Amino acid sequence: MESPKQFDFINGELLLVDKPYGWTSFDVVNSLRYTIKKGLGIKKIKVGHAGTLDPLATGLLIICTGKLTKQIETFQGQDKIYVGSMHIGETTPSYDKETEVDQKYDTSEITNEVLDSTVKSFIGEITQTPPIYSAVKIEGKRAFEYARKDDEVKIKSREVIISEFKLLNYKLPEIDFLVHCSKGTYIRSLVNDFGKAMDNGAYMSGLRRTAIGEFSVNDAHEVEELKEIIKLSLANQG
């Protein structure tokens, strides 16, 4: 039987997690931190993630521990690849399924040609504004905290690069897509802007991050599986 991996969480480990649906990125961090602390018998250890995934998204999350947390920004700065789905003809305030539909549109004139030409207009450097329902900080508070209180707030737009944006099917109202993008890109905003560009509406109905730089979700572990690997390794080291 293969020996369990020897972890050195204090000096730093990089862990690849396949984040489950419904979990926040911090839920993953907190769960793994607790397992590591308990296994090592210590009260404190640095654990952080390199790039937030929304609770309704799944896929690759890079977790850093110990001294490696100083390199989190390096991992955050790498390009990312997502596959997802969008619902054409309706919008929501959060640009995804977290909030209820607030507007409906007629999609009868949206052809494959319209979809293709609209996708092409988003390739390259674009300007986008993060969703109000996001973790962007405004005057020390997260944007979603203002949104949930219906407070008016201005979010700064940002320049991002879309290297690849392609539609994987044309079955309205649900369309699957793939996006290869730079750091800081909000796929929900991309989907919302995509709908607007057709004088219509769209919200993100599903999202999965498949890659961050050279790291792939294919090499990631599910949270509970990773916790068992950590427990076994630390028990053997002890």
Give catalytic residue positions: 54
If one counts every other C-beta atom within 10 angstroms of the C-beta of residue 95, the result is 27
Residue 69's Cα: distance from chain center in Å?
19
> Strand 221-222 relative to strand 14-19: parallel, antiparallel, unpaired?
parallel
- b or e along 181-220 (b: 16 or more beta carbons within 10 Å of the residue's beta carbon)? bebbbbbbbbbbbbbeebebbbbbbbbbbbbbeebebeeb
Please identify which residue in the block is written with the tokens 């961050």.
Answer: 212
Q: What is the DSSP string of 86-155?
A: EEETEE-TTSSTTS---EE---TT--HHHHHHHHHTTSEEEEE---SSS--EETTEEHHHHHHTT-----
The answer to whether 92 and 203 are in contact (CB under 8 A) is yes
The pair of three-digit structure tokens given for residue 161, joined into one six-digit string: 């690069």
* Overall residue count recorded for the chain in this entry: 238
Please identify which residue in the block is written with the tokens 């674009």.
Answer: 126
CA distance 201 to 88: 6
The pair of three-digit structure tokens given for residue 112, joined into one six-digit string: 């494959």
